[in-house]
Amino acid sequence: MALRTAAAVRREPRAPWRWAVAGALFGALVAAVLWAPARWLAQGLDSATGGQLQLRNARGTVWQGSAAVVLASSAGGVDRIALPGRMQWQLRPAWLGVRGQLELGCCTQGPLGFAAGSAGSAGFRLAWDDGRSRWPAAMLAGLGAPWNTLRLDGALDLRTEAFALRWSQGRLALDGRAVLDATDLSSSLSTLRPMGSYRLVLDGGPAPSLLLTTTQGALRLSGSGRWNGNTMRFGGEASAAPGSEDALANLLNIMGRREGARSIINLG
């Protein structure tokens, strides 16, 4: 008994050191999480998108920072478009995910809120708060073909209503609605400026659908599509208003298969 008591006494002084080391490691971990540099977020986003969405000159931390936004056809793609100004973001932990806000002076009317996190077994959900934003159509050229050929100009007004994306088992599901109004579009392939204005409506649910209509203009576009979880299958047509055929001929030849005065569009 005396021997065991003496051994216990000799072991006791080491216990506070173990707690001190554990506390120091825990503190270092918390500090690393709280003060993780913004460049880590930029590197992760670059890797996740294959270089198509880049945050350049990122400053601050993962949780609050700013960066220039660049759209590129790929990590080494020659087509790159930088949005004007810098984007600011704020993130905060939430149950099984994060909540955040994005703000870009050129394009958002105020902070765009979102929530991202787990959506069941091995699933992920990204939900956007209802909001409005306006983007330059020229930015699409940074995504590569066919946008880098069309070289569009004009304004893209985006409105979201309970819009959310859900990834699970390799499939993407859509909820809510997103409405895109493309106003006064023009293209480097036509001398007609502007060519027209258009509305694209994406409705989510069990069978997500896409509807394209022309609101005004000489270039007339229409079509519809269905999302099957992996690809969007879209069918539509393009045509020129009387008197605009010559100005739009090159564009119509590129947009789809010609059938007389119409160009038939099939995607997916």
pLDDT, position 179: 98
Token pair belonging to 126: 């990204």
- 125 and 96 in contact (C-beta within 8 Å)? no
pLDDT, position 103: 94
The answer for residues whose C-beta is within 8 angstroms of residue 260's C-beta and 6 or more apart is: none
Handedness of CA 43, 46, 49, 54 (dihedral sign): positive
The answer for residues whose C-beta is within 8 angstroms of residue 200's C-beta and 6 or more apart is: 179, 180, 182, 210, 211, 212
Distance CA(132)–CA(4), nearest Å, equals: 73
Cis check: omega of the bond before 146, within 30 degrees of 0? yes
Token pair belonging to 36: 């993780």
pLDDT mean by block of 10 residues, the chain; 268 residues: 48 51 44 68 86 91 93 68 92 89 91 88 87 92 84 95 91 95 95 96 95 97 94 94 93 90 91
**Residue type at position 222:** S
DSSP codes joined into one string, 142-172: GG-TTHHHH-EEEEEEEEEEEEEEEEETTEE
- 60 and 88 in contact (C-beta within 8 Å)? no
Handedness of CA 167, 173, 179, 182 (dihedral sign): positive
How many C-beta neighbours within 10 Å does residue 86 have?
A: 19
The answer for residues whose C-beta is within 8 angstroms of residue 232's C-beta and 6 or more apart is: 210, 225, 226, 267, 268
- 43 and 55 in contact (C-beta within 8 Å)? no
